[in-house]
Chains A and B, each alone.
Chain A
């Protein structure tokens, strides 16, 4: 019996993923209505629950893909992977009011630039405080604070050690998870309510996964506006960190003889 169920789960991975995720969303909606009386959005609870399950999955398998590393939940890797995530994000563009997007274009671009420089400077400062003094490590850790893709891309390009690259990825993943969890709590403080405000948020918070989940948990209508800007974030970071920003850091922290 057990092997039959296992076989069923493995051969129907994606279908099982739809069923499991649907049940988690349903359960979260019920928790939202009955336990928090609608104060916390159902999708916010679902995302939090997903992260807890990812932790449990990681603990059980020691793998890097959370719950998706359990053989019977392999379909989650496809459903929540980059391909379908980006496909769904592009589909939300159908709801964009072009006039709104155009009106906030320049402020979105400004936010995007600040959203690259600010995390980088903070990352470098923290690395410095923890005793790093060489330009390569400082730059890689600063890049990790931009997104978890910019960190390893930069580190590989300028020849950082694998420990530093691992640390940069950890910072980026941590940031993405924090954005997912804290966005709904900070929505009032950040005045997230209009398309323009969502574009500013998308540029500054960076990390497509953080922004897409954070906005989904706050107000689904804002998702396309935030995502439109955030999807340029990783590209811009990969452009600036190993080049311009690395040169600046190298000038500030010349190698000791």
Chain B
């Protein structure tokens, strides 16, 4: 059933966020440490395990794929509620700090990725 996939996704999401919170507490940080990343790793493992054991069928997977497909609309809705005014209120200093950070970051990414092939299809090199 399609809902089983969504349930699996929801359980992984909740467990990941919970572990992230616990990790944050253990480290004495007032933030969730990688909860979403942990949830993603849980879901990847669940998928591999489910395929091997044969309890994850195509119908259930639809319940995850639908949410993955909603990703771009959700991101557009996120863009619609950014605090753009606040960003502009920081004045020249906020502008300079943000531009310099992004430029340096992009330069660094280009440096580390200098040997990567440019393939828009997302295909991995050998």
Contacts and interface: CB of A to CB of B under 8 A. Distances in A.
B87 A177 contact: yes
Given A90-B16, A194-B119, A197-B116, A204 B105 contact: yes
Contacts of B125: 194
A239 B81 CA distance: 27
Decide if the interface of chain A is mainly helix, strand, loop or mixed: helix
Contacts of A180: 79
Given A51-B84, A235-B24, A87 B76 contact: no
Range of interface residues on B (Cβ < 8 Å): 35 or more
Decide if the interface of chain B is mainly helix, strand, loop or mixed: helix
Nearest to B115: A191
Interface stretch (A3-11, A17-25, A246-254): A17-25
Interface in B105-126: 105-106, 108-110, 112-114, 116-125
Interface residues of A, number: 120
B123 A227 contact: no
A59 interface: yes
6 contacts: A77-B81, A174-B87, A175-B98, A193-B122, A194-B122, A196-B113
Interface of B: 9-10, 12-13, 16-17, 20, 23-24, 27, 29-37, 39-41, 43-44, 47-48, 61, 64-65, 67-68, 70-87, 89-90, 93-102, 104-106, 108-110, 112-114, 116-125
